Amino acid sequence: MKPALRKATVAGVAAVTAAAALLAGGGPSTARAGTADGGDAVASTGGHGAPHGKDRVFRGRFAPIGTPGGARTITYDQKLVPEGARIEVRQHTGRDGMAVRVAVRGVARNHTFGVHVHTRPCGARPDDSGPHYQHRKDPQQPSTDPRYANPYNEVWLDFTSDEEGRGHAGSVHPWTFRKGEARSVVLHESATHTEPGHAGQAGARAACFTVPFSGRG
């Protein structure tokens, strides 16, 4: 295992363990960031407490398109992400970069999801969330070049759910998002490809969670 990958993996394990515990119950007090019947999105700051925060936590419950109130936590494929499945996304930012982690429960059991941070909020159409966020933007879009579409230049959070439909993953980076350019987390139907011409692809978009990530610039 490469040193950089090992470092990211070790840090990510600690991060996602905390996220999984929060999803199971407990955690910091929360304040609503946006609500919809069956599709609420909740945000909270962690121990640092400042409005821009070092830690930001977002929680939601998936609902189908057309849910009254306009769900920000949308499922497009209820076989993979049933109505009522839950998600939590946590972002920690610091001087040396950031960590992003995701935890879910209630999704399809024993299934591998490709999960990425995207550039736009969720919408009625799966493609409304735009392309993957990239630290160094690929001049050729859609991006399938592994020099740009990779887990170091993008935020990949692939996981395989367990027998109870729970899953979690984390990603650590020596950079942070550009302000306003990271807006959602998308669950795809399959694991993320890495080969040239298909790098970053993970099949159809099964669900989307609108997340106002913090950024710089």
Distance CA 82, CA 67 (A): 14
Report the share of the chain in percent with pLDDT over 90. 72
Under CATH, which number does the domain 3-210 receive?
2.60.40.200
Reading the block at residue 80, the tokens are 């993979």
- At which residue do the structure tokens 């609902």 appear? 63
- pLDDT grade, residue 67 (50/70/90)? confident
With CA atoms as reference, report the closest residue to 46 among 58, 36, 38, 55. 55
Question: Looking at this protein, which amino acid is placed at residue 208?
Answer: C
Please state the pTM of the whole predicted model.
0.79
Reading the block at residue 111, the tokens are 């299934």
Distance CA 80, CA 113 (A): 9
Distance CA 99, CA 213 (A): 12
The H or E element spanning position 171 is: strand 166-173
Does residue 54 have a pLDDT over 80? yes
- pLDDT grade, residue 70 (50/70/90)? low
- pLDDT grade, residue 69 (50/70/90)? low
Distance CA 169, CA 188 (A): 14
Average pLDDT rounded to a whole number, residues 164-192: 99
pLDDT value at residue 48: 37
pLDDT value at residue 9: 39
Does residue 45 have a pLDDT over 70? no
Question: Looking at this protein, which amino acid is placed at residue 156?
Answer: W
Domain borders along the chain are 3-210
CB 59 within 8 A of CB 42: yes
- At which residue do the structure tokens 């913090």 appear? 214
